[in-house]
Amino acid sequence: MGTLRDLQFALQLKIEELRQRDALIDELELELDAKDDLIRRLQGELDRMRLSAPGASADGQQRASSLRVRRKALLTEPVTLEPKLVLQNPPISHSKSQESQRLIESALAENEFMKYLDRDQIRCLVDSAYPITLKQGVSVVQEGDNGTQAYIVEEGKLEASRASQRPHIIEPGMMFEELALIHNHTCSTTVTALVNSRLWVMEGQVFQRIMQRNGLAAITQSLHILRSVALLCVFPEDVLVKVSDSLEESHYSDGDYIIQNGNPGDKLYILSQGQVRKTSVCLSVCLVCLSICLFICLSIYLSVCLSVCLSIYLSVNLSVCLFICL
């Protein structure tokens, strides 16, 4: 029963720790909201610089205000499919050369909103992109249209213009209409091909499915990993779900140190893929163990020697006594 009480006490401690962590998360959320306000103001300045026009763009401010520059915030549309259907039906993949893949990955990494995606999300988004070609003078986006697609220029040159404002040029490697991936919005510019051009298109609905699929897969994998840990499997699922929210994925190359002797033990590491080698005995521990072994061996040796000497001494004394008696 003592062990059961200990487990119950440990469980209560963990639950209280999670409550404190939730309170800390709430404080961080407030701080994040303040930073979001700053991001909105900076995004407004960025819109003005891009269009080289005086005055703030109300449309740009509205678009920026709907975005939280975080990974979770990119999933703004509600889940419209059952989780099992989302996991069982991956987005359609379109073949492309390695050069095109690198171009799309680079454009996503440099984009202010897309650079927060993780590896799997970027890979799925790159795979889902499909090509289109534009002839000179053709507009791919019209101001006032309902935007549902984002574009990355691979070849050619395009012009983005807005009524009564100075246009700017979109060149290969640049991405535009990225907010269409996050939510449906009204296009604020007209984009026209100045020369024959080739673009990669990413659908907003496909992006939402990728986010939903990766999010559900991550939660499922995290819960499976947490349940495999003997220390954590005793907790109910709602607690494990909260713990899974705090998991951070880290990647290590061959030969990298994950943790070294002397580092503070304030993190729990769970191996998801690959292999690790644990060296639990350090030099100081070896010296201590060696000293203990030597001490034990020396003690045994001295005790044996003492026993032998005592035996010899007793046998000699006994012999002398017998000789005297005789």
Worst-scoring range by mean pLDDT, 27-31, 47-51, 174-178, 293-297? 293-297
The per-residue pLDDT for 309 is 54
Q: What percent of the chain is predicted at pLDDT more than 90?
A: 21
Mean of pLDDT values over 72-93: 58
Closest CA to 128 of 204, 75, 183: 204
The mean predicted confidence, pLDDT, of the chain is 73
Per-residue pLDDT reduced to its tens digit, 12-29: 777 777 777 777 777 777
| pLDDT top residue among 55 and 177 | 177
The backbone torsions φ and ψ at residue 78, rounded to the nearest 5 degrees and listed phi first, read -70, 155
Higher-confidence residue of 67 and 125: namely 125
Q: Of residues 227 and 68, which shows the higher confidence score?
A: 227
* Average of per-residue pLDDT across 95-124: 89
Query: Does the pLDDT at position 31 exceed 80?
Result: no
Structure confidence at residue 11 (pLDDT) = 76
Whether the pLDDT of residue 201 is over 70: the answer is: yes
For residues 255 and 277, what is the distance between their CA atoms, to the nearest angstrom?
Answer: 10
CATH of domain 2-213: 2.60.120.10
Residue 312 has pLDDT above 90, yes or no: no
Q: What does the pLDDT look like over 244-281, one tens digit per residue?
A: 777 777 888 888 888 887 777 777 777 777 888 877 65
Question: Which pLDDT score is estimated for 88?
Answer: 63
Helix axes 119-128, 98-110, angle to 10 degrees: 120
Instruction: Please tell me which residue, 213 or 70, carries the higher pLDDT value.
Output: 213
Given a cut of 70, whether residue 205 has pLDDT beyond it is yes
Q: How many CB atoms lie within 10 A of CB 116?
A: 14
pLDDT of 211-222, one tens digit each? 888 777 777 877
Position 52 scores a pLDDT of: 44
Confidence band of 302 (pLDDT split at 50, 70, 90): low
Is pLDDT above 90 for 139? yes
Is residue 322 pLDDT above 50, yes or no? no
54 pLDDT above the threshold of 60: no
pLDDT, tens digit, for every residue of 168-191?
899 999 999 988 888 777 888 899
Model pTM score: 0.53
Question: Between the ranges 77-81, 85-89, 271-275, where is the mean pLDDT highest?
Answer: 271-275
Higher pLDDT, 208 or 316: 208
Average pLDDT rounded to a whole number, residues 44-50: 57
- DSSP readout, 139-197? EEE-TTSEE-EEEEEEES-EEEE-TTS--EEE-TT-EE-THHHHS-EE--SEEEESS-E
Greatest mean pLDDT among 30-34, 67-71, 207-211: 207-211
- In this prediction, residue 82 carries a pLDDT of 58
Tell the burial category of 55 from Cβ atoms under 10 Å away from its Cβ (0-12, 13-18, 19+): exposed
Residue 146, pLDDT > 80, answer yes
Nearest to 232 by CA among 24, 16, 2, 10: 10
pLDDT of residue 35: 73
